[in-house]
Amino acid sequence: MDKLLIEGGARLHGEVAISGAKNAALPILCAALLSAEPVTFTNVPRLNDIDTLLALLGQMGVKVAREGHTVTLDAGGLDNPVAPYEMVKTMRASILVLGPLVARCGEARVSLPGGCAIGARPVDQHIKGLQAMGAEVRVEHGYVHATVPRLKGARLFTDMVTVTGTENLMMAATLAAGETVIENAAREPEVVDLANCLVAMGAQISGAGSDVIRIRGVDRLHGATHRIMPDRIETGTYLCAAAVTGGEVRLTGTSSCYLDAVVDKLMDAGCEIVSERDAIRLKAPARLGAVSLRTAPYPAFPTDMQAQFMAINCVASGVAMIRETIFENRFMHAVELQRLGADIRIDGNTAVVQGVAKLEGATVMATDLRASASLVVAGLIAEGETTIERIYHLDRGYERLEAKLAALGAKVRRLT
């Protein structure tokens, strides 16, 4: 199993290009299921999660053509609306095929994604929404079976803000009869990117980016071309990596407009940040100041950046309080950071991080995607060598991680 070896202490400097967003690309590729015409996507990141989704779509009868960062999907021959457990178990986002399949085929059989490291993550809101739109939905033998002659527009209200739930229901509603209103909708930029793609395909959607989205169903969607937005979490991770080393970097192909809460906290920690049209520059002080935070749905501080900020707080001056309000088990990186010498106390959903003068390299284990990213951030500043095991988690969400870090001057290599 691959490992990552980092020799800490190098100050990151220089320029690196940010990839397309995993969490935008996954729902947007699923949107191709809604049309019988080919849809072309550019800026698609080269990631294991994308490979998994393309394989899943392929076995449903979708023709997949991929060259570099461009993917064309032709769902004209879609004939198998099934997502089997073997393919879904490695990637929770596979549930995003459910809405499009029911809308286009009138039936779907999709394995439950199951629990995962960061929390139970049920999909009851996705199911409740489809039922409200007239689908008959049964959960049997670990599969969601949904059937309906044609979905009907409805007023939908989710019990909590759910990103993939909003995306699934928005996609389903594009082909429903009549108008659907999603209240308490997620406002994440990835929801807006998906809506933009659907509109380019002929969907009638308004309000994406607010908490009320209106969708007027149409009879069919057509082909289109869509460019995937930049990955705001990859951007934030490189900002943290540079910040913790006292570095100075310019990240291109991205924008601070998706990252207000993160940029704000980095400035509170003492970084200078300059926003350009399609780039961000960061200059960090020799030592960061501690920053407290609380995760919450967009536009508040993203849960997907919580672990990386815990890492920078480990060596900052002062004490930080970190509250995780989205996932019930998203502090698994804390014990691994402690192995590097961090001073962290967990009390329920709150972590209290007392900054220490230095971390020391050790062998640590990646437990999930962003936990792994926090270990990389910490490894960059730890004295000596840090070995990160189970980095297949990182390959789910960071394109060419070690090459990009090395381009910024980090001493990092993959052991295969």
Ligand X SMILES: C=C(OP(=O)(O)O)C(=O)O
Q: What are the residue numbers of the active site?
A: 116
Comparing CA positions, the residue from 300, 308, 346 lying closest to residue 326 is: 300
277 annotated to bind ligand: no
**26 sits near ligand UD1 (criterion: CB under 6 A):** yes
Strands 179-183 and 212-216: antiparallel
Question: Rounded to the nearest whole angstrom, what is the least distance from the CB of residue 92 to ligand X in the complex?
Answer: 5
Residue that the structure tokens 């926090």 belong to: 374
Say how far apart CA 173 and CA 165 lie, in whole Å: 12
Residue 39, H or E segment: strand 39-42
23 annotated to bind ligand: yes
Beta strands (DSSP E) in 134-219 are 136-140, 143-147, 155-157, 179-183, 204-206, 212-216
**93 sits near ligand X (criterion: CB under 6 A):** yes
Rule CB under 6 A: choose which of 143, 258, 327, 398 binds ligand UD1. Answer: 327
Rule CB under 6 A: choose which of 45, 99, 189, 397 binds ligand X. Answer: 397
Which CB sits closer to ligand X, 176 or 262? 262
Window contacting ligand UD1 (CB under 6 A); options: 4-12, 161-169, 345-353, 383-391? 161-169
Say how far apart CA 210 and CA 188 lie, in whole Å: 9
Q: Give the CB-side neighbour count of residue 302, counting CA atoms within 13 A.
A: 25
By CB atoms closer than 10 A (0-12, 13-18, 19+), residue 352 is middle
**395 sits near ligand X (criterion: CB under 6 A):** no
Determine contact, residues 362/386, Cβ cutoff 8 Å.
yes
Say how far apart CA 267 and CA 281 lie, in whole Å: 12
123 annotated to bind ligand: yes
Which CB sits closer to ligand X, 119 or 289? 119
**160 sits near ligand UD1 (criterion: CB under 6 A):** yes
Which CB sits closer to ligand UD1, 102 or 284? 102
- The interface partner of residue 162, options being ligand UD1, ligand X, none and the CB cut-off 5 to 8 Å by kind, is ligand UD1
**CB-based closest residue to ligand X:** 304
**311 sits near ligand X (criterion: CB under 6 A):** no
294 annotated to bind ligand: no
Say how far apart CA 383 and CA 381 lie, in whole Å: 6
Rule CB under 6 A: choose which of 326, 371, 375, 410 binds ligand UD1. Answer: 326
Which CB sits closer to ligand UD1, 323 or 411? 323
Rule CB under 6 A: choose which of 74, 304, 324, 399 binds ligand UD1. Answer: 304
**φ/ψ of residue 60, rounded to 5:** -85, -10
- The interface partner of residue 397, options being ligand X, ligand UD1, none and the CB cut-off 5 to 8 Å by kind, is ligand X
Strands 3-7 and 385-389: antiparallel
Comparing CA positions, the residue from 415, 356, 367 lying closest to residue 394 is: 367
**234 sits near ligand UD1 (criterion: CB under 6 A):** no
Question: Rounded to the nearest whole angstrom, what is the least distance from the CB of residue 23 to ligand X in the complex?
Answer: 6
- Number of residues interacting with ligand UD1: please give it, by CB under 6 A: 21
Window contacting ligand UD1 (CB under 6 A); options: 1-9, 82-90, 157-165, 334-342? 157-165
Residue that the structure tokens 């178990």 belong to: 89
92 annotated to bind ligand: yes
Question: Rounded to the nearest whole angstrom, what is the least distance from the CB of residue 53 to ligand X in the complex?
Answer: 10
Long-range (24+ apart) CB contacts under 8 A made by 128-133 are 128/158, 129/156, 129/158, 129/165, 129/168, 129/169, 129/172, 129/182, 130/98, 130/99, 130/102, 130/168, 130/169, 130/172, 132/156, 133/169, 133/172, 133/173, 133/176, 133/180
Say how far apart CA 30 and CA 194 lie, in whole Å: 10
**93 sits near ligand UD1 (criterion: CB under 6 A):** yes
The binding site for ligand X (CB under 6 A) comprises: 23, 92-93, 304, 369-370, 397
The binding site for ligand UD1 (CB under 6 A) comprises: 23, 26, 92-93, 119-126, 160, 162-165, 303-304, 326-327
Q: Which residues are annotated as a binding site?
A: 22-23, 92, 121-125, 304, 326
